[in-house]
Amino acid sequence: MSDLLLRMRGINKSFPGVQALKDAHFEVRRSEVHALIGENGAGKSTMIKIVSGVYQPDSGDMQLDGRAVQFANPREAHLAGIATMYQELGLYPELSVAENIFMGHAPMKKRLGLNTIDWERMESGAEELLAELNIHDLDVGAKVGTLNVGNRQRVEIAKALSLDAQILIMDEPTAALTESDVEQLFSIVRLLRERGVSIIYISHRLNEVFELADRVTVLRDGETIGMQPVAVTNEAELINMMVGRKIENLFPKQEAQIGNVVLEVRNLQRPPLTRDISFSVRAGEIVGLAGLVGSGRSETAQVIFGVLPAESGDILINGAPVKISRPSEAVAQGIGYVPEDRGHQGLIREMSIRENTSMAVLETVSRYTFINRAQERSLANRSIEQLSIRAIGPEQITNKLSGGNQQKVVVSKWLASEPSLLIMDEPTRGIDVGAKAEIHRLMSRLAAEQSLAILMISSELPEILAMSDRILVMREGRLVGEFSRAEATQGRVAHAMMSESARQVASAAP
Amino acid sequence: MQSAPRNPTVVEKLRRYLISQEGVLFLIMLVAVLFLATRTDKFLTVDNLLQQGRFMTEVGLIAIPMTYIIITGGIDLSVGSIMGLTAIVLGWSWQELGFPLELAIVTGVLSGTLAGFVNGLFIVRVGVPPLIMTLATLALFRGLAEGISQARSARGYPEWFFELGQGEVLGIPTQLWLVIVSVIIFAIVLARTQLGRALYAIGNNETGARFSGLRVNRYLLLIYSFSGFMSGLAGYIFVSRVSTTRSDMGTGIELDVIAAVVLGGTSIFGGTGSVVGTMIGVVLIQLLKNGLALSGVTSDATIVVIGSVLIFAILVNNFVQLRRDGS
């Protein structure tokens, strides 16, 4: 009898437009901490959602304890002993610690012929569970909302164990924790392992993987790239496995004449996600801003664009200091921002292409505040032609366009404003390969032919490497690295994005 | 212009208007008018219709900014209270403070505008939801009006003061001219100007509007102030029409106004609507009230009929618009 507890083979799962998992495999042994790592979009969440019954695989088999299983919903997975610890989502802040732990399976007793909750047994049960985790300082009667993040997480763990879980899934458990809380969490995880619980541990922080895990599985583009004991691998190898994909479908970048500094920011400050940021972007230059999700890239872009005005620090446009406290002021300074969330921030989806493309330049297409529709329409027609937007015509509602064409409408809105700096936040996320190449070609052309300064945020390293003249790396709200096009490699950039020790590497780079 | 679509023919244009929100509503109104005309011969007369125009002025004027506000996804429940406040400030500053009546009128309307500005300021700067803010000021402004008036009413205005509320110009009630001119101006403003475009953009997606560099806060502040101004104007006209000032003036008018706006095809969630539609809504409700009363229908039954027509009109319009979008 093997000690294999969970075994998944040939798992496929696709969503409209994307195959999230391709013939992926994964396994967990009894009493094992198994780390699951990969880039954003590699398929980690899909994998654990299949394990926990949120999604059902399109094909593939899953065995628990040697028996084939299939979970139609999270409850079935729960009953089979698979517990998932979400980031705070699973708790009710207005209820007590004990109530949260026993939510859905509170001990009952008959009173006056009615089934009522046995409060005493619930509280003592909660205390016992916490004691098993070596937690003796938590009041089971306290409202969860009054606890700090670390304690809430301990409640989550206790809740998971109240169901006799054999497998506990922890998704980025340390993301919001302080250092001392992290230590406590680690000791609980080790305690659980000793008691025979298996843990699937998802984290971006590789040092945690080495500190805690027994084995590690790397996913990339929905495939399982490797599975090995932590003892026989190292950080560099893991990063390589995570990002080492072929660079394909990317348009070769045009050489551009790099001109004067268009944007310079000095000591930009808006904690927690923008801390002491200083950099510059020149005319004709594409600067890539890399970093993990949550590292503060979008927030920094929005500080520059005035959505989240800076608390302190300077913004200089063409060498002159400017004050930007709202988007309209940024637009007036010649800054355009293609936001990450296309449908919510970039477009007014209910409105037509014509109305969207003129949204940032209403002044220019108006006379005495009256909008000149003919001028608007010709602007829209020009955009449709220049960016080859596939649409019936300028009056088409943007909601009905494909993702790539929607993105082109957003870009054309900002091109209409003739900016000197264009910030593009995940410009090709969620759009198909063809449209992606078109956007890349466009960016490259804008920089080379119109000397546009472009600040590009992207979570895709190949995109960052192929498009950027210079690469900046952010982590936890700070700039932690800068690479020229020549010196940048996937490994170096990824290392700076993820690793604690990258700071020295980055500062050593010229 | 190689691939430009050919210009639509007159027939096509007419067809497009007829199946628009406003077109469908207009047809419903025609049917209602014809039906009411068969019930009583007192209804479809020039005198009666002009008289109804006089009565719907206050609702009509306030419905214009209300359309703007609802298009942005907001609401203003305090319009009736602002009307009352304006009326009281007008009478009080004239009679108690000894202002010249002209100045008292300006003071009254300005205080209404200020009240709207206060609404807008809290909505924009503090982020209070419009429903909550104006529900609070619905009570607050009414309370202010009652406090200032001390249950006294101001009467004895000079003859010229009644011109706006009771006079005629070219055979048409004076205030009706004001409504007609306002509707034309503000329908064009909504349909053709940057302000109008911004309001639709805000109503459809406020974040998107902000991220496009539109001055969202400024526009919102402007339309809530505008709402206060029009409510103040309506308050002045109301005093001029009924010759007296009381603090309960305009009570409940917000519901008539909102009903007309929504009946006129403005989505309560924002993003769509027009001033013309709203006006058809205002007229339809007023004519139904009047025509049914003249036909001898009791007032409680009238309310039931109006409610039913509201629901019917909205259903028919939903059906037509759904078919249109589907085709």
Bridge partners, A263 (sequence order): A281, A317
Q: Report residue A246's pLDDT band, with 50, 70 and 90 as the boundaries.
A: very low
CA distance linking residue A171 with residue B226, whole number of Å:
51
Instruction: Give residue B63's pLDDT.
Output: 96
CB contact under 8 A, B194 and A371: yes
Taking a C-beta distance cutoff of 8 angstroms, is the pair A4, A29 a contact?
yes
Question: How near does any CA of chain B get to the CA of A303, in Å?
Answer: 12
> Closest Cα partner for A456 from A309, A300, A275, A269?
A300
Domain boundaries, chain B: 57-251+267-272
User: What is the amino acid identity at position A381?
Assistant: N
Q: Report residue B119's pLDDT band, with 50, 70 and 90 as the boundaries.
A: very high
Question: How near does any CA of chain A get to the CA of B195, in Å?
Answer: 8
> Residue A398 above 60 pLDDT?
yes
Instruction: Give residue B157's pLDDT.
Output: 86
Q: Report residue A17's pLDDT band, with 50, 70 and 90 as the boundaries.
A: low
Question: How near does any CA of chain A get to the CA of B323, in Å?
Answer: 17
The proportion of chain A whose per-residue pLDDT surpasses 70, expressed as a percent, equals: 93
Question: How near does any CA of chain B get to the CA of A458, in Å?
Answer: 19
> Residue B5 above 70 pLDDT?
no
Instruction: Give residue A320's pLDDT.
Output: 93
Instruction: Give residue A507's pLDDT.
Output: 44
Instruction: Give residue A433's pLDDT.
Output: 66
Place of tokens 């139609």: A72
CB contact under 8 A, A363 and B194: yes
CB contact under 8 A, A348 and B205: yes
Q: Please compute the mean of the pLDDT values over residues A231-243 and round it to a whole number.
A: 83
CB contact under 8 A, B213 and A360: yes
Q: Search chain A and give the residue with CA nearest B189.
A: A370
Chain B hits for A347, CB-CB cut-off 8 Å, are 205, 208
- DSSP letter for B123, please: I
Q: Please compute the mean of the pLDDT values over residues B162-171 and round it to a whole number.
A: 86
Q: To the nearest 10°, the Cα dihedral for A130, A135, A137, A142?
A: -30
CB contact under 8 A, A307 and B210: yes
Kindly state whether A433 is in contact with chain B, defined as any CB-CB distance less than 8 angstroms.
no
Best probe of the A interface among B212, B222, B325, by most A CBs < 10 A, is B212
> Residue A48 above 60 pLDDT?
yes
CA distance linking residue A333 with residue A201, whole number of Å:
46
> Closest Cα partner for A455 from A320, A302, A294, A325?
A302
Kindly state whether A369 is in contact with chain B, defined as any CB-CB distance less than 8 angstroms.
yes
Q: How many CB atoms lie within 10 A of CB A202?
A: 19
Q: Please compute the mean of the pLDDT values over residues A61-81 and round it to a whole number.
A: 89
Residue bearing the bigger pLDDT, B229 or B327: B229
> Residue A502 above 50 pLDDT?
no
Residue A173: asked if its preceding bond is cis (omega within 30°), the reply is: no
CA distance linking residue A374 with residue A371, whole number of Å:
9
The torsion region of residue A396 among left (phi > 0), alpha (psi -120 to 50) and beta comes to: beta
> Residue A505 above 50 pLDDT?
no
Query: Which of A307, A350, A366 shows the shortest C-beta gap to B211?
Result: A307
Q: Please compute the mean of the pLDDT values over residues A2-16 and round it to a whole number.
A: 86
Average pLDDT, chain A: 87
pLDDT tens, residue by residue, A165-182: 899 999 888 776 777 788
CA distance linking residue A385 with residue A472, whole number of Å:
34
Kindly state whether A326 is in contact with chain B, defined as any CB-CB distance less than 8 angstroms.
yes
Task: Collapse the DSSP code of A75 into the 3-class scheme (helix H, G, I; strand E, B; otherwise coil) and give the result.
Answer: helix
Chain A hits for B193, CB-CB cut-off 8 Å, are 366, 369-371
pLDDT tens, residue by residue, A467-497: 999 999 998 899 999 999 989 888 888 888 8
Question: How near does any CA of chain A get to the CA of B194, in Å?
Answer: 6
Question: How near does any CA of chain B get to the CA of A423, in Å?
Answer: 12
CA distance linking residue B137 with residue B81, whole number of Å:
8
CB contact under 8 A, B213 and A331: yes
Two tokens at A290? Answer: 């890399």
The proportion of chain A whose per-residue pLDDT surpasses 90, expressed as a percent, equals: 45
Task: Collapse the DSSP code of A98 into the 3-class scheme (helix H, G, I; strand E, B; otherwise coil) and give the result.
Answer: helix
Q: Please compute the mean of the pLDDT values over residues A245-269 and round it to a whole number.
A: 78
Burial class (CB in 10 A: 0-12, 13-18, 19+), A231: exposed
CB contact under 8 A, B208 and A344: yes
CA distance linking residue A312 with residue A298, whole number of Å:
18
Residue bearing the bigger pLDDT, A125 or B220: B220
Task: Collapse the DSSP code of A303 into the 3-class scheme (helix H, G, I; strand E, B; otherwise coil) and give the result.
Answer: helix
Q: Report residue A463's pLDDT band, with 50, 70 and 90 as the boundaries.
A: confident
Instruction: Give residue A1's pLDDT.
Output: 40
CA distance linking residue A431 with residue A424, whole number of Å:
14
Kindly state whether A331 is in contact with chain B, defined as any CB-CB distance less than 8 angstroms.
yes
Question: How near does any CA of chain A get to the CA of B278, in Å?
Answer: 21
Q: Please compute the mean of the pLDDT values over residues A255-270 and round it to a whole number.
A: 91
Residues of chain B whose beta carbon is less than 8 angstroms from a beta carbon of chain A are: 5, 192-195, 197-198, 200-201, 204-205, 207-215, 271
Q: How many CB atoms lie within 10 A of CB B207?
A: 16
Instruction: Give residue B134's pLDDT.
Output: 96
Q: Search chain B and give the residue with CA nearest A340.
A: B211
Q: Among A281-285, A340-344, B75-79, where is mean pLDDT lowest?
A: A340-344
Q: How many CB atoms lie within 10 A of CB B36?
A: 18
pLDDT tens, residue by residue, B93-108: 998 888 899 999 999 9
Q: Search chain B and give the residue with CA nearest A354.
A: B197
Question: How near does any CA of chain B get to the CA of A378, in Å?
Answer: 10
CA distance linking residue A506 with residue A497, whole number of Å:
10
Two tokens at A18? Answer: 């994307």
- DSSP letter for A92, please: -
Beginning with the edge strand found earlier in the chain, give each strand of the sheet holding A470-475 in spatial order.
Answer: A335-338, A421-425, A453-457, A286-291, A470-475, A478-484
Q: Please compute the mean of the pLDDT values over residues A67-90 and round it to a whole number.
A: 83
CA distance linking residue B78 with residue A27, whole number of Å:
63
Q: Please compute the mean of the pLDDT values over residues B131-147 and round it to a whole number.
A: 94
> Which residues 6+ apart lie within 8 Å of B157 measured at CB?
B101, B239, B240, B243
> Closest Cα partner for A358 from B3, B274, B194, B202?
B194
> Residue B2 above 50 pLDDT?
no
Query: Which of A345, A355, A371 shows the shortest C-beta gap to B207?
Result: A345
Q: Among B108-112, B229-233, B260-264, where is mean pLDDT lowest?
A: B260-264
pLDDT tens, residue by residue, B37-68: 888 888 888 888 898 988 999 999 999 999 99
Chain A hits for B201, CB-CB cut-off 8 Å, are 348, 351, 355, 359
ipTM entry = 0.84
CB contact under 8 A, B193 and A351: no
Question: How near does any CA of chain A get to the CA of B209, in Å?
Answer: 7
Q: Report residue B6's pLDDT band, with 50, 70 and 90 as the boundaries.
A: low
Instruction: Give residue A294's pLDDT.
Output: 80
Instruction: Give residue A508's pLDDT.
Output: 42
Taking a C-beta distance cutoff of 8 angstroms, is the pair B271, B69 a contact?
no
Instruction: Give residue A392's pLDDT.
Output: 86
Chain centroid to Cα A509, Å, comes to 27
pLDDT tens, residue by residue, A275-330: 999 999 999 999 999 988 788 999 999 999 999 999 999 999 999 999 999 999 99
Query: Which of B5, B204, B214 shows the shortest C-beta gap to A351?
Result: B204
Query: Which of B197, B205, B208 shows the shortest C-beta gap to A362?
Result: B197
Best probe of the B interface among A350, A352, A399, by most B CBs < 10 A, is A350
Q: Search chain B and give the residue with CA nearest A352.
A: B201
Task: Collapse the DSSP code of A64 into the 3-class scheme (helix H, G, I; strand E, B; otherwise coil) and give the result.
Answer: strand
* Range B305-323 burial, b when 16+ CB lie within 10 A, else e: ebeebbeebeeebeebbee
Kindly state whether A394 is in contact with chain B, defined as any CB-CB distance less than 8 angstroms.
no
Instruction: Give residue A509's pLDDT.
Output: 43
Instruction: Give residue A251's pLDDT.
Output: 61
> Which residues 6+ apart lie within 8 Å of A204 measured at CB?
A37, A172, A292, A498
Instruction: Give residue B7's pLDDT.
Output: 62
Taking a C-beta distance cutoff of 8 angstroms, is the pair A249, A438 a contact?
no
Residue bearing the bigger pLDDT, B158 or A335: A335
> Closest Cα partner for B52 from B297, B295, B284, B262?
B284
